[in-house]
Structure 1
Amino acid sequence: MTGAGAATVDLLSAASSGNLAEVGRLIAAGANLEQRDGQGQTPLLRAVAGNHVAVAKALLAAGASLNARAANQDTPWLLAGAAGRSEIIAAMLPLKPDLSLRNRYGGDALIPACERAHVETVKLLLTSGIDVNHVNNLGWTCLLEIVILGDGGPRHQQVAKLVLDAGANPNLADKDGVTPLQHARKRGQSEVAKLIAAKGGR
């Protein structure tokens, strides 16, 4: 393959491998920033997946979309949140990501970041105007995911405190009417339970 087509394929490969020099050369040569692979992934999405911070920043500076959807519904913004890519999230924030986009579970960037206790990422996401009480397709908020899928340890305690301080409703129950506090107590997550109760959780 020759010409622009070869350049765009090379950009996907260069972004995947974190080759900043090659990415910069290809951007300067006019490569298509929104080239897709067979899964609908763009160079920026691949850079996020590999945590290639400098490459992601270069692509963002060149105008790559942080809202481009792959076949699995991921966008660079959503994946950066889920994967805890704090430096990349920080670079994306000034570009005003589309907070209405949802992942394949109907969630936003905050919910999986909380589930996985990406503390620094959660701090950044909470500055974006993201809905701290969004409910995904499972019927879970970020607070419910912290409790149901977390381990109750120090990092999950930190993200629980962060979202509660940011206005997470401590009494938004799951589809069965079970509240975050009830889940925390059932799972023996005493410190998380204390945090929820202190904010009026029942």
Structure 2
Amino acid sequence: MDIEEEDSWDSREDEDESLLNQSETLTNKQRGNEITVRPVSFDGLAIHQLAAQGKLSQLEARLNKDSSLLNKQDECGLTPLMWAATFGERAVVDFLLQKGADPRMIGRNRESALTLASSGGYVDIIESLLRHGVDVNTYDWNGGTPLLYAVRGNHIKCVEALLANGADLTTESESGYSAMALAVALGHKRIQKVLEAHILRLYKPAQR
């Protein structure tokens, strides 16, 4: 990620935090309600950069020369798969999974490929990862789950995919917000409807 992209990301984060501070309905960044962030630097590891930029042919060539790079973690504990998931590189994600990349690995702050894809709104990558048996309810350092990050980003298709694969609606982040509470606080009304419909489907069998 270059400086301009990082500044843009920080700007969006600042806008989110400003909104939350004004409403006083959510805790602020200092109290732990911080979204999983995209990796900041390539750390000089070409394999991670290639994955992030979607350079599939070059990535394949590197792995053919040294297969040990497949699950190599950078200084933040992020793997090539995590970098590809972060930047929405579906072809790279599928290629790495086919090569045997471990989708269950976690970063230093408990980042996962699924959490990063959910934060970015990449439903196709979410579905690929779920087909490879990742934990839909994995959590990061502040209790954020893929569902919570999808709700935070107002990524409706991602929320639907996660719910369809067993995402837990009752899980709360360390700041005390469940998926529904977060959707309400942020004013994501379409997300609220998706969550409400899912809850109704869950309760219908019990009412018969």
TM-score, reference length from structure 1: 0.71
Which region of structure 1 is more displaced relative to structure 2, 101-110 or 136-145?
101-110
> 3-state DSSP class of the match of 1:132?
coil
CA shift at 1:199, angstroms? 2.2
Q: Give the structure, 1 or 2, with the largest relative contact order (CA under 8 Å, sep 6 or more).
A: 2
Which region of structure 1 is more displaced relative to structure 2, 107-116 or 192-201?
192-201
Instruction: Identify the residue that residue 135 of structure 2 maps to in structure 1.
Output: 131
Instruction: Identify the residue that residue 181 of structure 1 maps to in structure 2.
Output: 180
Query: Which of 39, 47, 50 is 2:50 aligned to?
Result: 47
RMSD of aligned Cα (Å): 2.2
Instruction: Identify the residue that residue 99 of structure 1 maps to in structure 2.
Output: 103
Q: Which has the larger radius of gyration?
A: 1
CA shift at 1:106, angstroms? 0.9
**1:40–1:70 contact (8 Å) kept in structure 2:** no
**In 2, distance between residues paired with 1:124 and 1:61?**
23
Instruction: Identify the residue that residue 80 of structure 1 maps to in structure 2.
Output: 84
Structure 2 unaligned residues grouped into runs of 5+: 1-41, 201-208
Give, as a single letter, the amino acid of the residue that structure 1 aligns with 2:91: E
> 3-state DSSP class of the match of 1:199?
helix
Instruction: Identify the residue that residue 66 of structure 1 maps to in structure 2.
Output: 70
**2:90–2:124 contact (8 Å) kept in structure 1:** yes
CA shift at 1:172, angstroms? 0.9
Structure 1 unaligned residues grouped into runs of 5+: 1-37
**1:57–1:88 contact (8 Å) kept in structure 2:** no
Give, as a single letter, the amino acid of the residue that structure 1 aligns with 2:171: L
Residue 200 in structure 1 maps to residue 199 in structure 2: yes
Give, as a single letter, the amino acid of the residue that structure 2 aligns with 1:83: F
Instruction: Identify the residue that residue 114 of structure 1 maps to in structure 2.
Output: 118
Q: Is the alpha carbon distance of 1:173 and 1:45 closer, same or farther for their aligned partners in structure 2, counting shifts above 3 Å?
A: same
**In 1, distance between residues paired with 2:104 and 2:111?**
10
Which region of structure 1 is more displaced relative to structure 2, 78-87 or 90-99?
90-99
> 3-state DSSP class of the match of 1:104?
coil
> 3-state DSSP class of the match of 1:46?
helix
Residues paired across the two proteins, number: 159
CA shift at 1:46, angstroms? 2.3
CA shift at 1:67, angstroms? 0.7
**In 1, distance between residues paired with 2:161 and 2:66?**
32
Give, as a single letter, the amino acid of the residue that structure 2 aligns with 1:49: A
**In 1, distance between residues paired with 2:190 and 2:64?**
42
**In 1, distance between residues paired with 2:198 and 2:172?**
15
**2:48–2:80 contact (8 Å) kept in structure 1:** yes
> 3-state DSSP class of the match of 2:43?
coil
Residue 170 in structure 1 maps to residue 169 in structure 2: yes
> 3-state DSSP class of the match of 2:124?
helix
CA shift at 1:200, angstroms? 2.1
Residue 144 in structure 1 maps to residue 142 in structure 2: no
| Aligned-residue identity in percent | 24
CA shift at 1:179, angstroms? 1.0
**2:97–2:103 contact (8 Å) kept in structure 1:** no
CA offsets, 1:84-115, max 9 Å, x none? 11001111112332234212331210111111
**1:44–1:59 contact (8 Å) kept in structure 2:** yes
Structure with the larger helix share: 2
